[in-house]
Amino acid sequence: MTVYYSKDHEWISVEGDVATVGITSYAQEQLGDVVYVELPDAGKTVAQGDEAAVVESVKAASEVYAPLDGEIVEANEALADAPAQVNEDPEGAAWFVKIKLSNTDQLSELMDEAAYKAFVETL
């Protein structure tokens, strides 16, 4: 299992050809208290950069973009009822979607943890 990060503040944990995607701790901190999460239906095909989910906090509504091409195989329905999980455990229990990747080459465009940390430092 390898964890990657995107410039849109998503973490992508890859096992085989399935990527679990969520938002980073930095992202949830910036958003503030999350009050609503809208998730896609399983089976939906997404391309890199497509809107995959919507997360709404007291401060702002933001899109969560698909970091990679693929098919949504599962969405974390528990978040719909407990959006606060995104603040409590953003990089664990509060994953958003699982995507079956159609182009694993795209992983090379993402950052590792050290690179993401350095990226956040620049913000």
Partner 1 sequence: MSMNHQGRPTSAGELTPSMLPKTFTGNRALDMEEPLIFEVGSFETVGVDLDVPEDVELELGKHARSKPVDLPGLAEPEAMRHYVRLSRNNYAIDSGLYPLGSCTMKHNPRLNEKMARLPGFGDIHPLQPLSTVPGAIELIDELAHWLMTMTGTSAVAMSPKAGAHGELCGMMAIKAAHKAAGRDPKIVLVPESAHGTNPATAALLGYKVVSIDAKEDGTVDFDALKDTIAAHEGNIAGIMLTNPNTCGLFERDIMEIAEAIHAADAYFYCDGANFNAIVGKARPGDLGVDAMHINLHKTFSTPHGGGGPGSGPVVLSDRLAAFAPLPFIRKGKDGIELIETEAQTQDNEQPFGRMTAFHGQMGMYVRALSYMMSHGSDGLKQASEDAVLNANYVRVGLQDLMSLPFGERPCMHEVLFDDSFLKDTGVTTLDFAKAMIDEGYHPMTMYFPLVVHGAMLIEPTESESRASLDLFTATMRDLVMSAQRGDVERFAGAPYLSPRRRLNETLAARKPVLKWTAPDPASVSPASS
Kindly list the residues in this chain that would bind partner 1 in the complex (CB under 8 A). 33, 35-36, 58-59, 83-84
Query: Smallest gap, in angstroms, from Cβ of residue 92 to partner 1?
Result: 21
Query: Smallest gap, in angstroms, from Cβ of residue 86 to partner 1?
Result: 12
Name which of 35 and 120 has its Cβ closer to partner 1: 35
Read off the amino acid at residue 49. G
Query: Smallest gap, in angstroms, from Cβ of residue 83 to partner 1?
Result: 7
Name which of 11 and 65 has its Cβ closer to partner 1: 65
Exposure string of 46-67, with b = 16+ CB inside 10 Å and e = fewer, is: beeeeebbebebeeeebebbbb
Helix locations, 1-123, DSSP H? 25-31, 78-81, 85-88, 113-121
- Which residue from 50, 54, 51 is spatially nearest to 86, judged by alpha carbons? 54
Name which of 33 and 63 has its Cβ closer to partner 1: 33
**Residue 89: strand, helix, or coil:** coil
Q: Phi-psi bin for 5: left (phi > 0), alpha (psi -120 to 50), beta?
A: beta
Name which of 39 and 68 has its Cβ closer to partner 1: 39
Query: Smallest gap, in angstroms, from Cβ of residue 41 to partner 1?
Result: 23
